C-alpha cells in the first residue's frame, strides 16, 4: 500500500550566520546623519555608504563624511558580494561633478572619497566623469584632498585611466576584493592581474600619486593566499592596503564562510607592514573609505619620513 502523499512544504527562508559581537553597530539616528542624508538628496547624489549597505554609515555620516558614488546608482556588473543594484544605467548626469563639489564644500571636507558603479556601457567606462569631478572639486574646494576608488576599466582604452591620473587625484584606489582563486565566483566580470596592472600603470605614469587597494576576508580565502596578495600588491608598488570582513548584504549574495577575529586582522596587518606598505588598515569593520582622511594623513607622513631617511643616507 502506498504511503499517503505529503503536502508540499513551504520553502525555508535562507538563513544568514549570526554576526559576532565585534562587528555589530548601532542604527544611525544622530542629527549629523540626518543632515548628511538631506544634503545628498537635495543634490541628487548617490553614496556607496547607502547603496552598498556599509555598516559604518552611522559613524561616518554623523561626522558628515560620505563617499559619493558617481555615474548613477546602477552597475553593469553583478558581483556576488555587492549590494549595488544591477541593470541598464541611466544617462550620465552632467550636474554630478558640480553637485559633488558643492557637497564637499558644504560639509567642509578636508578629504573626500569618490567612487562609482561599473559603466561597461560607456566608451571610456566613465573615466571622463571622474576627471570632471576632480576638476570641479579643485575649483570649488581646493583645500580638499581627493581620493578616487575606480572600477577596473576592463576592455577600455588605456587613455581612460591615463586621463584620470593626469587629473592628479591625491590617492588612486582600486580594490582587488579577494584572492585570485575566488574570482570566478566572487568577481566574475573582472580579472585579478588586470586590476593589478591598472594600479601598476597609475604609479608608473605618476609616482607622486598614492595607490591603494583592498580585499575582503571571510570568503573562504586561505592565509597564504592573503600573504600572496600582499606580495602582488607590493610588486605593483601599491602604498596602502585595506582588509575588512565581508558581510553578506542579502540572503541572495554569496555566503560568509567565516568571521575573521580582530586578532587575526591584527596579525595580517603586522605582516602587511613588514612587507613595506606605507599604510595598512585591517579590522573587521574596515572599508575602503573608512577613516580615509586620517589614514591619508598618516600615509603622507610615512612617505615624508621615508624620503627624509633616503636623503640622509
Which of 237, 245, 249, 239 lies closest to 221, judged by CA? Answer: 245
Residues 6+ apart with CB under 8 A from 96: 44, 45, 70, 71, 129, 132, 133
> Half-sphere exposure of residue 295, counting CA atoms within 13 Å on the CB side?
25
Residue 279 has phi, psi (to 5 degrees) of: -145, 145
The string of DSSP letters for 48-85 reads HHHHTT-TTHHHHHHTT---EEES-S-BS---TT--S-
Residue 128 known to bind ligand: no
Residue 70 has phi, psi (to 5 degrees) of: -90, 175
Which of 217, 220, 206 lies closest to 241, judged by CA? Answer: 217
Q: Cα 24 to the chain's mean position, in Å?
A: 20
Residue 49 known to bind ligand: yes
Residue 288 known to bind ligand: no
Residues 6+ apart with CB under 8 A from 91: none
Other C-beta atoms lying within 10 Å of the C-beta of residue 120: 17
Residue 289 known to bind ligand: yes
Residue 201 known to bind ligand: no
Q: Are 176 and 245 in contact (CB under 8 A)?
A: no
Residue 82 known to bind ligand: yes
Residue 235 known to bind ligand: no
Q: Bridge-partner residues for 280, per DSSP?
A: 241
Residues flagged as binding site: 49, 54, 60, 75, 79, 82, 289
Residues flagged as binding site for [4Fe-4S] cluster: 49, 54, 60, 75, 79, 82, 289
Amino acid at each position: 500500500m502506498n504511503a499517503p502523499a505529503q503536502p508540499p512544504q513551504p520553502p525555508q527562508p535562507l538563513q544568514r550566520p549570526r554576526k559576532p559581537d565585534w562587528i555589530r553597530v548601532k542604527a544611525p539616528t544622530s542629527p549629523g546623519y540626518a543632515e548628511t542624508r538631506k544634503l545628498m538628496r537635495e543634490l541628487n547624489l548617490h553614496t556607496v555608504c547607502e547603496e552598498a549597505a556599509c555598516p559604518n554609515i552611522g559613524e561616518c555620516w554623523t561626522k558628515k563624511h560620505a563617499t559619493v558614488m558617481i555615474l548613477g546608482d546602477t552597475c553593469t556588473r553583478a558581483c556576488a558580494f555587492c549590494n549595488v543594484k544591477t541593470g541598464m544605467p541611466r544617462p550620465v548626469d552632467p550636474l554630478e561633478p558640480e553637485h559633488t563639489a558643492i557637497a564637499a564644500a558644504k560639509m567642509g571636507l578636508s578629504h573626500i572619497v569618490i567612487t562609482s558603479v561599473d559603466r561597461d556601457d560607456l566608451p571610456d567606462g566613465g573615466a571622463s566623469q571622474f576627471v570632471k569631478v576632480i576638476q570641479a572639486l579643485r575649483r570649488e574646494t581646493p583645500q580638499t584632498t581627493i581620493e578616487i576608488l575606480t572600477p577596473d576599466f576592463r576592455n577600455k582604452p588605456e587613455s581612460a585611466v591615463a586621463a584620470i591620473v593626469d587629473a592628479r587625484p591625491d590617492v588612486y584606489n582600486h580594490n582587488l576584493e579577494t584572492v585570485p582563486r575566488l574570482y570566478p565566483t566572487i568577481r566574475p566580470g573582472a580579472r585579478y592581474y588586470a586590476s593589478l596592472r591598472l594600479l601598476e600603470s597609475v604609479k608608473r605614469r605618476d609616482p607622486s600619486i598614492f595607490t591603494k587597494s583592498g580585499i575582503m576576508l571571510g570568503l573562504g580565502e586561505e592565509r597564504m593566499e592573503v600573504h600572496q596578495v600582499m606580495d602582488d600588491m607590493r610588486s605593483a608598488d601599491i602604498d596602502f592596503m585595506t582588509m575588512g570582513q565581508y558581510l553578506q548584504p542579502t540572503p541572495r549574495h554569496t555566503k560568509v564562510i567565516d568571521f575573521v577575529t580582530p586578532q587575526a586582522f591584527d596579525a595580517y596587518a603586522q605582516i602587511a607592514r613588514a612587507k613595506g606598505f606605507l599604510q595598512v588598515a585591517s579590522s573587521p569593520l574596515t572599508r575602503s573609505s573608512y577613516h580615509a582622511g586620517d589614514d591619508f594623513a598618516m600615509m603622507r607622513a610615512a612617505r615624508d619620513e621615508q624620503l627624509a631617511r633616503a636623503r640622509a643616507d
